[in-house]
Amino acid sequence: MAGAALLLAVLLVISTGCTGAEQSGEGTGQGPDDAGYRTVVDSRGVAVQVPEKIERVVTVSDGMIEGTMTYLGTQDTIVGVGSSCLQRNFDYEFPTIHGESYWYRDGMNPVTYLNRRIMELPRIAESGAAINYESLVSLDPDVVILRVGSCTARHIDDESVTKTISTIESLGIPLVVVYGPPAFKDPDLTKISDEIMIIGQVFGKEANASKLAGYLEEQVSLIDERTRDIPLDEQPRVLILGLSPTARNAGGAGQVFGLDTIESYFIEEIAHAQNAFAEPGYFKTVSAEQILSIDPDVIVLCTANGYHPPEELYSAPYYQNLQELKAVKNRKVVAWPWTPCNCAKRLEYPIDVMVIAKAAYPERFADIELSEWLLNFYKNVYAVDDETAKALRSAQWMDWCVETCPSCG
């Protein structure tokens, strides 16, 4: 039995402390000549031999790989996942100074909403934790697809990541590695398109993958084209702010994204505004005093240990010390979709960019009604009908934008 042989191999690897073996054909593009295999060159530049007929896939990702597979129609081959963020519903509640509470229930990753079976699949790892190799082997996968740069495997040079890669390869399991934007010193969106194309090659669906990557690029290109001529001195200052309870418990007011992040790339290189937090740092905790001194023109709220709608910043009692912020007084606070474990961005990244652009330059995007644009986005990316697109918008807690256009509901 193939599964029993692999299980014996993993036990030998663990008992001897071996961290991996050299992959056949690494760096050369050469591998087994047996009929029924195809060669995929992954983000490392490694030529990986994968079966032409793939029936069992284990993914180590936070939704990017699984989302691409959903578009390609290969999601039913997933037999195991590497992130708990794909297998949970999320609720969030916050109080207001008006004596009432806001509840947000059943937030969900779009991939999970569309593929409920993922909730029941075996999980071989927790976010940030080591892979359970015995569980992996017991699933007898035809291929493992792992995303570096995700919350599960953050950095290329992390010892845990290199050990994971070498151990899986030593077991003889075909391993395809893709690099998300945070895996690079200078992140940009071409990296996400590269990931999509590699995943398409795994399943022999390069044309479909190219269409998906092209559609996502078109959405952000529209934003770039409309804003690229704006002089620096006319660009608003945008702050991506996470209203994290963890930050508050540590004495801060929230968490922000510095100049060396993909979030800053969205602001400055695509929407052509300015990142109000003009320092390096990823999810850096800042105090209320620091936020007041920054005083951005626009605030975009992101997922940060909970979903955070604009109303929380406006009316939660613990944020009344921020009411003098320019963005708060001018009601220039918006929110991104509910995206837990979104360290490296997923297929929904154009939504993030569009939210920034519309908030920063409402007059330049007056013809785009965000609530309707979102429905079209979900229809194009996931091939769903209007009813399902609306359900996805709700599962991502983006119905706040319907309030500004009641007829768009």
CB 277 within 8 A of CB 256: yes
CB 343 within 8 A of CB 358: no
Of residues 92 and 318, which shows the higher confidence score? 318
CA 145, 149, 150, 152 torsion-angle sign: positive
- 120-129, 275-284, 320-329 — which is least confidently predicted? 120-129
pLDDT value at 14 more than 60: no
Say what the pLDDT of residue 344 is. 74
Say what the pLDDT of residue 406 is. 42
Closest C-alpha among 276, 255, 283, 253 to residue 326 = 276
**Between β-strands 90-95 and 47-51, what pairing exists: parallel, antiparallel or unpaired?**
unpaired
Mean pLDDT in residue range 147-176: 84
pLDDT value at 283 more than 60: yes
CB 144 within 8 A of CB 125: no
Say what the pLDDT of residue 202 is. 98
Q: In this predicted model, what pLDDT tens digit does every residue of 59-106 receive, in sequence order?
A: 999 899 999 999 999 999 999 999 888 888 788 888 999 888 888 888
Domain boundaries, the chain: 31-204, 229-365, 369-409
* Alpha carbon distance 22, 1 (integer Å): 24
Half-sphere exposure of residue 374, counting CA atoms within 13 Å on the CB side? 29
Which structure tokens are listed for 364? 């330049």
Confidence bin at 401 (pLDDT 50/70/90) = confident
Residue indicated by tokens 């256009």: 405
CB 407 within 8 A of CB 401: no
Say what the pLDDT of residue 338 is. 87
Q: Name residue 241's beta-bridge partners.
A: 256, 301
Greatest Cα pair distance in the chain = 70
Of residues 9 and 338, which shows the higher confidence score? 338
Q: What backbone torsions phi and psi does residue 81 show, to the nearest 5 degrees? A: -130, 165
Say what the pLDDT of residue 101 is. 87
pLDDT value at 4 more than 50: no
pLDDT value at 182 more than 90: no
Instruction: Map residue 291 onto helix, strand or coil.
Output: helix
**Same CATH fold assignment for domains 31-204 and 229-365:** yes
Say what the pLDDT of residue 153 is. 61
Say what the pLDDT of residue 189 is. 80
pLDDT value at 9 more than 80: no
Residue indicated by tokens 């402390």: 17
Q: Give CATH for domain 229-365.
A: 3.40.50.1980
Element (H, E) at 242: strand 237-242
Say what the pLDDT of residue 370 is. 96
Give CATH superfamily name and number for 31-204. Answer: Nitrogenase molybdenum iron protein domain (3.40.50.1980)
* Alpha carbon distance 84, 72 (integer Å): 23
Say what the pLDDT of residue 127 is. 58
pLDDT value at 408 more than 90: no
Average pLDDT of every residue of the chain: 87
pLDDT value at 5 more than 50: no
Q: Residue 384's Cα: distance from chain center in Å?
A: 20
CB 397 within 8 A of CB 309: yes
Say what the pLDDT of residue 12 is. 35
Closest C-alpha among 328, 302, 277 to residue 398 = 302
Confidence bin at 16 (pLDDT 50/70/90) = very low
Helix then strand then coil, in percent of the chain rounded to 5, is: 45, 15, 40
- 92-101, 230-239, 267-276, 373-382 — which is least confidently predicted? 92-101
Which structure tokens are listed for 88? 């949970």
Say what the pLDDT of residue 128 is. 54
CB 360 within 8 A of CB 379: no
For the chain, give the number of residues: 409
Element (H, E) at 238: strand 237-242
Mean pLDDT in residue range 47-68: 95
CB 134 within 8 A of CB 167: no
Confidence bin at 264 (pLDDT 50/70/90) = very high
Element (H, E) at 326: helix 326-329
Looking at this protein, which amino acid is placed at residue 140?
D
Closest C-alpha among 254, 250, 253 to residue 240 = 254
Mean pLDDT in residue range 155-168: 83
Say what the pLDDT of residue 20 is. 33
* Alpha carbon distance 40, 46 (integer Å): 8
- Number of Cβ within 10 Å of residue 18's Cβ equals 12
- 180-184, 200-204, 311-315 — which is least confidently predicted? 180-184
Say what the pLDDT of residue 33 is. 47
Say what the pLDDT of residue 18 is. 35
CB 5 within 8 A of CB 30: no
Residue indicated by tokens 């207001």: 96
**Between β-strands 90-95 and 284-286, what pairing exists: parallel, antiparallel or unpaired?**
unpaired
